[in-house]
Structure 1
Amino acid sequence: MIMGAFAKITATAGYVPERVVTNEELADLMETSDEWIVSHTGIQTRHYAMNQENTSDLSTQVGQKLIKESGVSVEEIDLIIISTITPDSLTPSTAAIVQGKLHAKNAMAFDLSAACAGFVYAMSVADKMMRSGLYRHAIVISAEVNSKMMDFTDRTSTVFFGDGAGGALLTRTNNETEEFLIDEIIETDGTGATTIHSGRVKPLSEISKTNFPTTDAFYQDGRSVFQFATGTVSVQMKTLLERNQLNETNLAAIICHQANLRIIEKISQTLMISMDKFPHTVEKFGNTSSAGIPLTLATMGHSDQPILLTGFGAGLAYGSILIRM
């Protein structure tokens, strides 16, 4: 342990696949319409990974951008954390694949699964590891290829989701005023485990040569998710803001999980903070799960005021962190 070791954000980046999918295109596949999707979600388009492009590929694109923007050499990267619920495989980890694709031979790499709260969880974990003094440069990426987990007969879920990746590069500093993490509240409510789920693998019921592993498609109880996000999560956000004496005037921005524009609008109303303080990219990218927060963060410039990041999703996992850029 090195006393006085902190982490600062030295670069942010985002990436989405080229293929744009419109509401009209989805309406040709299922009983829905552009009008219904926009009115209920605010989403106009989303991007899908195609032609074998997978989660590790999206992550690698972000990693390359972070290295280029920060000026840190790939050999100096010693920690890679990928948050995802749509990995390339259960094993090896997507982070290990990305480490290989980046040629970051000196980096320890692992995946973290916290659904749509993944980036918040991963940044919190990276902060603690950087504080140990054992790591100098860390890449934290959230990446999702949600399209490969969708049931395209289910309009209640499929119309929401898109694919994308975003992340940040953290660098160790001895200057406490440069520390990126100001405060945090990270929570889990396992009693809500059935509210959102994806990729469940059933255990054996008998020993048979016909056994073969299969997974289920993404499912969510939309009404319960809306109530959770606008109720429980809003209380968490308010608690963190109040204990740091932050309000609309001394807060740079609030970046929520980009689940649904209507949820973000409701949180704005509940906190009584103008939507002007809530940057959002969900209209263009859809719900990219854990990637939504860093994708949106990458659109922001430097700010002297704190930024609140709040993620919430399956688990139920939810967390809020106050950061400096």
Structure 2
Amino acid sequence: MMTTFAKLTATASYVPGRIVTNDELAAVMPTTDDWIVSHTGIHTRHYAFDDENTSDLATKVGIKLLKKAALTADEIDLIIVTTITPDALTPATASVVQGKLNAKNAVAFDVSAACAGFVFGLSIADKMMRSGQFRHALVISAEVNSKMMDFTDRTSAVFFGDGAGGALLSQTQVENEEFLIAEKLQTDGTRAQTIHSGRIVPLTEVASTNYPTTDAFFQDGRAVFEFATTTVPEQIKQLLADAKYAPAELQMVVCHQANLRIIETICTKLGMPFDKFAHTVERFGNMSSAGIPVTLDQETPITGGQPILLSGFGAGLNYGSMLIRM
């Protein structure tokens, strides 16, 4: 029996057309363009408005992936959508995307791993592809973060933008075509309340006035910065050591696009030149799980050469790093 692997055959991305500047945010909350740029490096972000929800962004990425890979929708066997801003709690956003693509042969489900979602989604898809039951899989990360923001909270709202990105994996029996070289996924649930969004409180009584409500996105900015700039670099170093790679051997690093200052600090702690770190956060803001695949699609060379390091980290606290070949 032949061993089955997964190869990465295409990447794609999509951001909504509406650009929101720092000055526009400064008109509705106590902040300034100078403050946002100095603290985050972000100049603009894109917002989806009432004609686009999370499934719409994901579907547009799916269409692009199919076109790039020269596949039809009915050739897709698996669709994984990673998101913390779904269209609804149920049905899964992936199910909606499956219907919009008319990918009638695909099993579809969501993964909620926050900003680490794309790395976690790729890992899950890889294991499923190895079973030999799936020929082609779409892993799409899509977020409409703007709909979950508290626009009186400048410590959170100024960071986030909307967008979607993804990858298409295809079955192969050729080992050196396998996209996954090594990975390390972790969770620290003791710090789960550091970042939260969409919490729904239990009932206090049976009453006709009961109606479900959710809370807006919240993050403890200082704790997030400390986690991202200490725990995450250590995970990356351990992954590279276990896989017997030196940082200099990497073609590119694509971190979660949390903010530019975090990326700069991770770069320093790894002792790598900053030009090896792909980044789009200045233009698109923090797109949660979508940041890595959007940046992978738009900023990294697609070659079969040196490995690319992906590193996602966020609510959970979930964090995962992965060495891949394109």
**Structure 1 residue 247: deviation in Å?**
2.6
| 1:207-226, Cα deviation, whole Å (9 max, x unpaired) | 11100000000000000000
TM-fit CA distance, 1:301:
2.5
Distance 1:164 1:221 in 2: 23
2:263 matched residue in structure 1: 264
CA distance in 1 between counterparts of 2:68 and 2:301 reads 13
Alignment of 1:209 onto 2:208: yes
1:155 aligns with 2:138: no
The match for 1:7 is 6
**Whole-Å Cα distance in 1 between the matches of residues 156 and 270 of structure 2?**
27
Residue 294 of structure 1 is matched in structure 2 by 293
Structure 2 counterpart of 1:284: 283
Q: What does 1:169-180 align with in structure 2 at a 5 Å threshold? A: 169-180=168-179
Structure 1 CA distance for aligned equivalents of residues 124 and 236 of structure 2: 19
How far has the Cα of 1:72 moved from its partner?
A: 1.3
Aligned pair count?
Answer: 324
Could you tell me which residue of structure 1 aligns to residue 320 of structure 2?
319
Matches within 5 A, 1:1-325: 3-299=2-298, 300-303=300-303, 304-325=305-326
Aligned residue identity for 1:250? E
Q: Unpaired runs of 5+ in structure 2? A: none
- Could you tell me which runs of 5 or more consecutive residues in structure 1 were left unpaired when the two chains were aligned: none
How many Å separate the matches in 2 of 1:251 and 1:11? 20
Quote the Cα distance in structure 2 between the aligned partners of 1:64 and 1:52. 18
**Cα contact 2:5–2:130 (8 A) shared by 1:** yes
Partner-residue secondary structure (3-state), 1:249: helix
Asked whether the equivalents of residues 240 and 247 of structure 2 are also in contact (C-alpha less than 8 Å), the reply is no
Q: 1:218-262 CA deviation, whole Å, 9 max, x = no partner?
A: 000000000000011110001111222323431101100000000
Instruction: State the 1:157 CA deviation.
Output: 0.1
- For 1:279 and 1:247, locate their aligned partners in 2 and report how far apart those are by CA, in whole Å: 18
Cα distance in 2 for partners of 1:307, 1:152 equals 36
With 294-303 and 308-317 compared, the bigger mean Cα shift is at 294-303
- For 1:153-196, what per-residue CA distance to the aligned partner results, in whole angstroms no more than 9, with x for missing partners? 00000000000000000000000100000000000000011100
Counterpart Cα distance in 1 of 2:248 and 2:270: 13
**Secondary structure at the counterpart of residue 315 of structure 1:** helix
CA distance in 1, matches of 2:212, 2:51: 21
By how many angstroms is 1:3 displaced?
Answer: 4.0
Q: Would you say the 8 A contact 1:7–1:172 is kept in 2?
A: yes
The DSSP-based 3-state class of the residue aligned with 1:40 is helix
CA contact (8 A) 2:16 2:47 kept: yes
Give the match's secondary structure for 1:139: strand
Per-residue deviation at 1:274?
Answer: 1.0
Residues of 1 paired with 2:2 and 2:321: CA distance? 26
| TM-score (norm. length: structure 1) | 0.99
Cα RMSD, aligned residues only: 0.8
Match of 1:82, as an amino acid? V
Percent identity of the aligned residues? 67
Looking at structure 2, the residues matched to 319 and 113 of structure 1 have their Cα atoms a distance apart, in angstroms, of: 13
What is the TM-score normalised by the length of structure 2?
A: 0.98
Distance in 2 between residues matched to 1:316 and 1:86, nearest whole Å: 17
Cα separation, 1, equivalents of 2:93 and 2:308:
28
Distance 1:144 1:164 in 2: 6
Residue pair 1:248, 1:274 contacting (<8 A) in 2 also: no
